[in-house]
Structure 1
Amino acid sequence: MLTDTVCAALSAAGLGIAGLTAYRKRFLAATRIAAYALIPLGLALTGVLDWVTNLVFQPTVWAGFGVLGLSWALFMISRAAERRSGGTRKERRSAAAAERTGLSAGASEPALGPGRGATGVKAAGRSKARGGTSSGTDDFSDIEAILKKHGI
Structure 2
Amino acid sequence: MLTSTLCAALSAAGLGIAAMTAYRKRFLAATRIAAYALVPLGLAMTGIADWISDLVFKPSVWLGFGVLAVSALLFVICRAVERRSEEGGTRKERRAAAAAQRAALAPEASAPSLGGAQAPAQQPRRKAKAKTSGGGDEFADIEAILKKHGI
Which TM-score bucket, shorter chain as reference? Answer: 0.5 to 0.7
Name whichever structure is richer in helix by fraction.
2
Write out aligned runs for 1:1-152 (5 A): 1-72=1-72, 78=77, 88-93=84-89, 96=93, 99=96, 103-112=99-108, 113=111, 114-117=114-117, 119=118, 123=120, 139-141=122-124
Q: Could you say which structure has the larger radius of gyration?
A: 1
Work out the CA distance in 2 between the residues paired with 1:47 and 1:18.
25
Work out the CA distance in 2 between the residues paired with 1:27 and 1:92.
69
One-letter code aligned to 2:107: A
Q: Once the 2 structures are TM-superposed, how far is the Cα of residue 106 of structure 1 from its aligned partner?
A: 4.2
Contact preservation (8 Å) 2:115, 2:123: no
Structure 1: which 5+ residue stretches go unaligned?
Answer: 124-137, 145-152
One-letter code aligned to 2:14: G
Contact preservation (8 Å) 2:14, 2:37: yes
Instruction: Tell which has more relative contact order, 1 or 2 (C-alpha 8 A, sep 6+).
Output: 2
Work out the CA distance in 2 between the residues paired with 1:56 and 1:110.
62
One-letter code aligned to 2:96: E
Q: Once the 2 structures are TM-superposed, how far is the Cα of residue 46 of structure 1 from its aligned partner?
A: 1.0
Aligned CA distance change for structure 1 residues 91 and 108 (closer, same or farther; 3 Å): farther
Aligned CA distance change for structure 1 residues 42 and 97 (closer, same or farther; 3 Å): closer
Work out the CA distance in 2 between the residues paired with 1:98 and 1:12.
71
Root mean square deviation, CA, Å: 3.7
Corresponding pairs, count: 121
Aligned CA distance change for structure 1 residues 97 and 16 (closer, same or farther; 3 Å): closer
Contact preservation (8 Å) 1:11, 1:40: yes
Contact preservation (8 Å) 1:11, 1:41: yes
Moved >6 Å (runs of 4+) = none
Structure 2: which 5+ residue stretches go unaligned?
Answer: 128-151
Contact preservation (8 Å) 1:98, 1:105: no
| TM-score, normalised by the number of residues in structure 2 | 0.59
The aligned counterpart of 2:138 is none
Further displaced range: 34-43 or 8-17: 8-17
